[in-house]
Each structure stands twice: as C-alpha cells, then as structure tokens.
Structure 1
Amino acid sequence: MNACTMEPDRIERLARRNAAIRMGWYIHAVVYITVNLFLALLSAMSGRHWAVFPAFGWGIGLAVHGAVVFMLTGGGGLLERLVAQERRRLAARRDPW
C-alpha cells in the first residue's frame, strides 16, 4: 500500500510509530551521554583514561542505531512535533487526484 491510498487513520498510526522510533534514538543518546560522562569522571578519578573504550564501542552502536532510524523515518524533534511532522509528510505523499 502506498501513501496515495492511505487512509487518515493509517497515516496517523504510521506517524506515531515513526515518531516513537525517533524518540527511542533520542533516549538512547541521552543515556549514552549520561553514562559516559559518569564513566569519564570515574576514569579521571582513577588516573587512567579507560572510559574511551566503552564510549567508543557504545558510540558505534549509537551511530548505527541513528543511521537506521533516520534513514527509515527522516529527522526529528520531540514526540508530538515528530508526530505532526510525520502526519504532514505522509499526507503530502497522498495523490491529490
């Protein structure tokens, strides 16, 4: 089914799903930053710089997650703004004829 034949309810469901997927990436990024700042603090207090290793490994995972999310859904903001954006994007793809 393409967007030309989508019903408004289907567009709404897809918009909410895509917005939730993007919001999941934002949550992942906030947790990544928070945990790695804490690890960097512990690393600095211990006098060794071991925190770069988990940050680098997890950063690769975050980057892959982001690439998949933004290639599938296209951009982002807060959940309601994302839903509105998805709704507009999907509605615009509908065939006016």
Structure 2
Amino acid sequence: MDLRQRAEKRVDAKIEFQENLFKYLIVNVIIAIICLLFLQSFWLLFLVMIFWGFDVLDKFFKAYSIKDYREEMIEKEISKMGE
C-alpha cells in the first residue's frame, strides 16, 4: 500500500469517527429532552449511550490508534535528524 492510500484510509477513519460522534451527541441530546419531558426517567438514554458509545469508542481507537501516532512521531524524528 502506497503512502497516499494509507493517508486516505486514515483520513476516512477520522472523518467517520467525527461524523459518528456528532450524530451520537445530537441523538443523545434529543433523547435526553424526550426522557426529561415525557418519561421522567433516563433508562432509555443510558441504554443508547452505553451501546452506541461502544461503537463510538471503537471508531475512535481505529481513527486515532497509538500505532499511527507512533509512526508520525518516528517520521518527525527522522525528518529532524535529516536536517
């Protein structure tokens, strides 16, 4: 896999995480308002937060993995040493 394809894959994963996080926040705010106004309890909100939250965390770790961060640090060090 060449450098451009790797970069595209990482960018796509980051965009997917950010979109999923935005949707997660919007939906949870709406459910919280519904729970507060109509249900008088938050069990539905907690269920959505827990199960969808696992998916958000999974996408976060795929997008911002330690391995990628390590690779970026190595590349920066190599470029510094070459100068």
Q: Normalising by the residue count of structure 2, what TM-score does the alignment of the two structures yield? A: 0.68
List per-residue Cα deviations over 1:62-89 (Å, max 9, x = no partner).
1122122222644xxxxxxxxxxxxxx4
> By percentage of residues, which structure has more helix?
2
Paired letter, 2:12: A
Identity of aligned residues (%): 13
Size of the aligned set, in residue pairs, is 72
The alignment's C-alpha RMSD in Å is 2.6
Residue segments in structure 1 that go unaligned for 5+ positions in a row: 2-9, 75-88
Distance 1:17 1:64, change over 3 A: closer
Alignment of 1:64-79 (within 5 A): 64-71=58-65, 73-74=68-69
Alignment of 1:8-87 (within 5 A): 10-46=2-38, 47-50=40-43, 51-71=45-65, 73-74=68-69
Q: Normalising by the residue count of structure 1, what TM-score does the alignment of the two structures yield? A: 0.60
Whole-angstrom CA distance in 1 between matches of 2:37 and 2:18: 29
Structure 1 runs of 4+ aligned residues shifted over 6 Å read: none
Residue segments in structure 2 that go unaligned for 5+ positions in a row: none
Whole-angstrom CA distance in 2 between matches of 1:17 and 1:63: 18
